[in-house]
Structure formats: structure tokens, C-alpha cells
Amino acid sequence: MGVALRDLAADCRETVDLDALSGIAAIDAHNALYQFLSIIRQPDGTPLMSADGQITSHLTGLLFRTANLVEKGLRPVYVFDGTPPTFKQETIDQRREVRTRAGNAWKEALRVGDIAEAYKQASASARVDASIIGTAQELLTLLGIPWVQAPSEGEAQAAYMARKGSVRFAVSQDYDSLLFGSPVLVRNLTVSGRRKMRGRTITVSPERIVLDAFLDCLGITREGLVEIGILVGTDYHPGIKGVGGKTALKLVRGGEFESVIAERLPEFDPAPIKEFFLNPPVSDDYHLAWSPPDTAGVIEMLSGRFDFSPERVEGALEKFSVKARQKTLDQWF
């Protein structure tokens, strides 16, 4: 779905300066952690690790990105996934299989000395497991940054919080939060806009997609957007082979969703997936509060247990209190 919707979004989005963004941002925690784990690695693919072998790539990413967002006056809240719907199981199994294969290909690339291939395969083998999630939550708590446990999909919970007005926008690289009804989605929420693409470094700005404008731009309703997602494929079903964004948009606008599903996928009932996007399990059981970081606790964790340089950690922590208060006029804590 990601690629297909990106094509449709091309003319219906706006790039924004990070400084123009303010307020509370509900960040898709799984999406952020996965990115950190896949990208923050040594050239041969080895992730950053403490001396005793615990992976720390996600903690590095989380610390510095959160510090930067806070310094810019944004208030992040991280939303963690809960129990996935049963119809996601096939996708989950497939992804595990792909990761396992990539892990083997990583070892093989190292054996033959292909460093670039090793990095690529290592990235693809990245897995957000329980210890990654646990240490991420522990760090956020020490940083004084709230996190929310979603009952089901994190993107659905983030969208619900945005719709309620608890947060100003959802943050993810995926488009799912729009299908879940988030009024605003921000992608590429990074500070240094540099990104390596095919060897070259290009500048990437945050990208804001406003749901109502997006739907107007495409001439569809939110239900129609969900139908497009189902046709091109979602986390819950592969969709119809050969149908991309353009074709899906045409079919949905022509009211042919049901008929083309009946014709091409007679065994498939899209109703539960449609219902899941339009009315997902969400929770009101959250409380958003930001507090100054527990400086000693963060250093104890990151430097004491994970071998981070205390100087680097302290430098990041400074962005949470001093500068943040200087930069924002309104009371922050």
C-alpha cells in the first residue's frame, strides 16, 4: 500500500519546515524503532551494541531524535502496538520469513566480503522484539516523554488521539493512519534533512498530509480511501495483483470496488478489513504528561548499562530543559 498511496499523494501533500510544526505529535513507535534498527548500523550491517551484546541502535535514534523534537518545541508521545487483528497473521508470518532469509543472506554476504550487500541484508533482517520495545519504553519514561499502549494497531490509536484533539498530528512513514482517520499525518519528521539515496545525499523535508484536503484532491471519501488501500494491498491482505494506485482510484471513483473484488477475488470478504480501518479498537486509557528528564537515571541506563558516552548523553539531555524553555514562549512543562 505504501508505494501505491505515495503515488496518489504526490500532488496532494505539502512539504513543511520543521520549525513550522508545533504541538503534540503522536509518533508510531514501531515505525520509528524499526527505522532506527534498520538504518543505524556499521557499514557491514552490525548494529550498535553494548559490550555485552545488547542492541542499542534504537536507543541512540530515540534519544537524539526525541531531544531534537523537544528542542524544536514539539511535544512527542510515542504510541506502541498492542495485539494485532487475527487477519494480520499471514503478513506477520511472511515478514518473519523475509527477515530470516535476510539474516542468512547477511551472513553469506559477510562470508564473501560484499559489504554493501551485507548492510542491505542486515537492514532487512531488523526486528522490533520485546527487548527493543522494553528498553525503548524504559528510556522514554526516564526522558519524561509519555508513551501510550494501543489495544491493537498503534496507527489506529494515534489516529484516534488526533481525531479527538489530544494530539495535533500523527507521525509515521506509513499512510495507514490516514485510513484510520487521522486528520493530519506527518512523514519524514527528522531534523537533519539529509538522507542517502542511491549513494547520493539528498535533502528530505517533513511532509504533511491533511486528510480532508487529500480526499478532496482525489475526489473520494475516507471509505473510498480504505477501498483503495484494500485493492492495492494492506497489512491485512495482499490486494489485487496488478492493481496500483491509479487503477484503484479509478475503480473506487467509479463505484466498482465491490464488483471488482467479487470478480477478481471471489473468496475474499473485504468487509472485516474495511470495518477495522473505519472503526478500529482504540482506547481512552491514556494520560499525556511531559516532565523534565531524570538525568541521572538516563545516564545510569545508557552509559552504565549500554556503554553510551556520558558526554554525548548529557549533550542530548541539555536539549530537553534549557534550550527548550528558552525557545518556547508558552509554558512547556
Partner DNA sequence: CAGACCAA
Partner DNA sequence: TTGGTCTGT
Residues 174, 176: Cα–Cα separation, whole Å: 6
Segment lying near DNA (by CB under 7 A), choices 23-31, 64-72, 80-88, 127-135: 64-72
Told to check if 131 binds DNA by CB under 7 A, we report no
Q: Which of 29, 31, 35, 252 binds DNA (CB under 7 A)?
A: 35
We find the least distance from the C-beta atom of residue 56 to DNA, in angstroms, to be 4
Q: Please say whether the beta carbons of 249 and 228 come within 8 A.
A: yes
Map the footprint of DNA across residues 199-228, applying CB under 7 A. 200-201, 203-204
Q: Which cell is 295 given?
A: 538525568
Told to check if 30 binds DNA by CB under 7 A, we report no
Residue 256, marked binder? no
We find the least distance from the C-beta atom of residue 55 to DNA, in angstroms, to be 8
Told to check if 67 binds DNA by CB under 7 A, we report yes
Told to check if 60 binds DNA by CB under 7 A, we report yes
Residue 19, marked binder? no
Residues 296, 311: Cα–Cα separation, whole Å: 13
3-state secondary structure the chain: CHHHHHHHHCCCCEECCHHHCCEEEEEEHHHHHHHHHHHCECCCCCECECCCCCECHHHHHHHHHHHHHHHCCEEEEEEECCCCCHHHHHHHHHHHHHHHHHHHHHHHHHHHCCHHHHHHHHHHCCCCCHHHHHHHHHHHHHHCCCEEECCCCHHHHHHHHHHHCCCCEEECCCCHHHHCCCCEEEECCCCCCEEEECCEEEECCCEEEEHHHHHHHHCCCHHHHHHHHHHHCECCECCCCCCCHHHHHHHHHCCCHHHHHHHHCCCCCCHHHHHHHHCCCCCCCCCCCCCCCCHHHHHHHHHHHCCCCHHHHHHHHHCCCHHHHHHCCCCCC
Segment lying near DNA (by CB under 7 A), choices 152-160, 184-192, 233-241, 281-289: 184-192
Closer CB to DNA, 256 or 307, in the complex: 307
Q: Which of 12, 16, 68, 114 binds DNA (CB under 7 A)?
A: 68
Residue 117, marked binder? no
# of chain residues touching DNA (CB under 7 A) = 35
Told to check if 320 binds DNA by CB under 7 A, we report no
Segment lying near DNA (by CB under 7 A), choices 56-64, 79-87, 115-123, 287-295: 56-64
Closer CB to DNA, 214 or 308, in the complex: 308
Closer CB to DNA, 68 or 166, in the complex: 68
We find the least distance from the C-beta atom of residue 89 to DNA, in angstroms, to be 29
User: Which positions from 288 to 307 touch DNA by CB under 7 A, shown as an x/- string?
Assistant: ------------------xx
Residues 130, 183: Cα–Cα separation, whole Å: 31
Told to check if 309 binds DNA by CB under 7 A, we report yes
Closer CB to DNA, 15 or 309, in the complex: 309
Q: Which residues of this chain interact with DNA, rule CB under 7 A?
A: 35-36, 39-43, 47-50, 56, 60-61, 64-65, 67-68, 190-192, 194-196, 200-201, 203-204, 306-309, 312, 315-316
